[in-house]
Chain A
Amino acid sequence: NAGVMQNPRHLVRRRGQEARLRCSPMKGHSHVYWYRQLPEEGLKFMVYLQKENIIDESGMPKERFSAEFPKEGPSILRIQQVVRGDSAAYFCASSLNTGDQETQYFGPGTRLLVL
């Protein structure tokens, strides 16, 4: 059973471009979470999605950031008009369900560098 997969592993963008980060959850998992890890900081929750639904986006910046988890295909974290401050590692996690004892399994992350 393959783990959580993220691609690309590294992404370089110039200011003003768009960044698309993909996350394929573990097989059978229908819950996806995105986290951002800024240099020298811990991980910050961004958004929680189930198939075709955004459940909690309280950690998402109000502008330029969006996320989706379509019925078919991976979850996408999209950053429009990137700025240097968006440079970070973005981690995706998935879980089978929510509630007691449902563990989040993390992908290897996508490291975004904005020039």
Chain B
Amino acid sequence: AQSVTQLGSHVSVSEGALVLLRCNYSSSVPPYLFWYVQYPNQGLQLLLKYTSAATLVKGINGFEAEFKKSETSFHLTKPSAHMSDAAEYFCAVSDANNNDMRFGAGTRLTVKP
């Protein structure tokens, strides 16, 4: 069975600062990993996904994540935060069949002016 743990339920950064949202996974099979963003009162939007190709994955809105098998991590980063990045971010893991996706508890990102 797969699971993910997101470290830090709340992260606050200043505008222009580095964004780092942490995600560690547990999986008995090669995982597929995802980051989703949820803006208030909206559904989830896919930011990026890792499906066993390149370990550094670039997504939308300037975000990227690196798959590190040795650390079982898939942290999300962005070099410079914008006010519009304020949202809730969810890390998720699934198996190759993509049927049973497991989500982390989410990390709420606040961006200070």
Contact = CB atoms under 8 A, between A and B. Distances in A.
B101 A33 contact: yes
Identify the 8 closest CB pairs spanning chains A and B, nearest first.
A106-B44, A43-B103, A42-B105, A106-B43, A108-B43, A42-B103, A98-B97, A107-B43
Interface of B: 6, 36, 41-46, 49, 51, 90, 92, 96-106
30 contacts: A6-B43, A33-B99, A41-B106, A42-B6, A42-B90, A42-B104, A43-B44, A43-B92, A44-B103, A45-B102, A59-B100, A98-B99, A99-B96, A99-B98, A100-B51, A100-B98, A101-B49, A101-B51, A102-B98, A104-B98, A104-B101, A105-B46, A106-B43, A106-B45, A107-B43, A108-B41, A108-B42, A108-B43, A109-B42, A111-B41
Given A4-B43, A103-B46, A56 B90 contact: no
A10 to B, nearest CB: 9
Interface in A27-82: 33, 35, 41-45, 48, 55-56, 58-59
A33 B103 CA distance: 13
Range class of the A interface residue count: 20 to 34
Contacts of B102: 45
A48 B103 contact: no
A95 interface: yes
Given A58-B100, A98-B99, A101-B51, A42 B43 contact: no
Contact of B98 (A41, A59, A91, A95): A95
A96 to B, nearest CB: 11
A106 B37 CA distance: 11
A98 B98 contact: yes
Nearest to A58: B100
